[in-house]
Amino acid sequence: MIDKIFSETIKILSDLIKFQTTSGASNLELIKYCEKKLEKAGATSFKTFNDSGSQANLFSTIKGKDNSNNKGIILSGHTDVVPAVSSEWTSDPYVAREKDNKVYGRGTCDMKGFIACTLAVAPLFASKKLKAPIHFSYTFDEETGCLGAPLVLADLKKRNINFSACIIGEPTNMKTINAHKGYNEYITHFTGLSGHASNPESGVSAIEYAIQYSNKLLELRDELKKRNSRKTIFSPSYSTLQIGKISGGLSANVIADQCSLEWEVRPINKEDGEFISNNIDAYAKDILIPKIKKNNPKGDIKKEVVGEVVGFNKKESSEAVNLVCNLTGDNEKNTMSFGTEAGLFQNSGISTVICGPGSIKQAHTVDEYITFDQLKKCLTMLVSLQEKMTN
């Protein structure tokens, strides 16, 4: 049976790769494709959109026995992919290429491979009376700060639907992931006043303010370590902070009027994320901004939030984690250091687990691929789920 569904999965995956759904771009064509497939299998759907209507989340349901209100299971994936520079790839990133039992293409492992598996098994779920509904959730713009998922979750709350578990099929090599750190990304913009370097008093160096701000961040980073002196399930064991990019200035003899700082925090709990934000904001507001504005009303410091992805916390007893362990027969549980939508689902009261085909090492890379073996393992899990839901 897996072989038959597998060839269908490959066909669907090739179709999905063709939609160039880079984060920020429209995903409507892909959503239309998925909606059609699921409707053909007997699912009913609803969509939620971004403000301009150019992007959509799809939520589709194959009902249970007698339209039972039993709590259903969500299979969840994001439809956006990170950009690909075609010239760096061996072949067109948006045309699936099969070689050595792998499929190459942007999004194969992160995470159109999983979406293809779920679409391929949908008719199987629809062919039998289910004890509870099975739901398919496909979101937009996960890669740029999980922008789509909150809209679906708010809509589900309004519709008052209850769930027993959500499986997020991010690439984990089909291992069970029960926790990950949060991921907060920021750009801080500094505006000074340019002037001739021979008279530093005549201007305000944005770079010098960025340095003071950086020093404060590094101080706070040391605090993060102290706050978490006990061993946690993560590696590293504490919340981290990293300044990844600094840009600004023209040359040595010009006072820089602009500078920006790109930095990130990976908090092991919400409080650590808030600790950094609150402290750096207070430092900017109380110490730096009054100084940068002195003699220069246009001077300013603004922190832009690129994305704040909430962490996914380990639960003592999790229905979703138990379900996946049961389906895969693998009781090992792991943590990881990249962000997903799992924390958002968890925070809206849905028991959540991450388990999907492909390796995170392949995600976001040139010549991204997924192996046939991983797709088959995922299909095996989904077929077991279908059996569990009918027996």
Residues forming contacts to Zn ion in the complex (CB under 5 A) are 110-111, 170
Q: Minimum distance between the CB of residue 140 and Zn ion, rounded to whole angstroms?
A: 12
Q: How far is the CB of 191 from Zn ion (least distance, A)?
A: 35
Considering the complex, state which of residue 72 and residue 356 has its C-beta at the smaller distance from Zn ion. 356
Q: How far is CA 125 from CA 57, 62, 268, in A?
A: 21, 7, 37
In contact, 224 and 238? CB cutoff 8 Å: yes
User: Which of the residues 110, 142, 170, 319 is marked catalytic?
Assistant: 142
Q: How many CB atoms are located within 10 Å of the residue 27 CB?
A: 29
Q: How far is the CB of 381 from Zn ion (least distance, A)?
A: 18
Given 35, 80, 319, 341, the catalytic residue:
80
Number of residue whose CB is nearest Zn ion = 110
- 308 within 8 A of 184, measured Cβ to Cβ: yes
For the question of residue 368 being annotated catalytic, the response is: no
Between CA 92 and CA 85 the distance in angstroms is 9
What are the CA-CA distances from residue 270 to residues 42, 241, 314, 345 (Å)?
Answer: 40, 14, 13, 15
Query: What is the arrangement of strands in the sheet containing 300-309, beginning at the earlier edge strand?
Result: 240-248, 258-266, 183-191, 300-309
Cβ closest to Zn ion, residue 259 vs residue 355: 355
**Helices 113-127 and 372-390: angle between axes, nearest 10 degrees:** 30
At its nearest, how many Å lie between Zn ion and the CB of residue 293?
A: 41
What are the residues whose beta carbons fall under 8 Å from the beta carbon of 197, sequence distance 6 or more? 252, 253, 254, 255
- CA dist 141 and 130 (Å) reads 31
Q: Which is nearer to Zn ion, 61 or 118 (CB)?
A: 118
User: What's the closest the beta carbon of residue 323 comes to Zn ion, in angstroms?
Assistant: 21
Residue 80 appears among annotated catalytic residues: yes
- Indicate the residue among 9 and 362 with the shorter CB distance to Zn ion: 362
Q: d(Cα 219, Cα 294) in Å, to the nearest integer? A: 25
Give min distance, CB of 142 to Zn ion, in A: 6
Give me the torsion for CA of 167, 168, 169, 171, rounded to 10°: -130
- Looking at the Cβ atoms of 210 and 355, the one nearer to Zn ion is 355
| d(C-alpha 97, C-alpha 13), whole Å | 11
The set of catalytic residues is: 80, 142
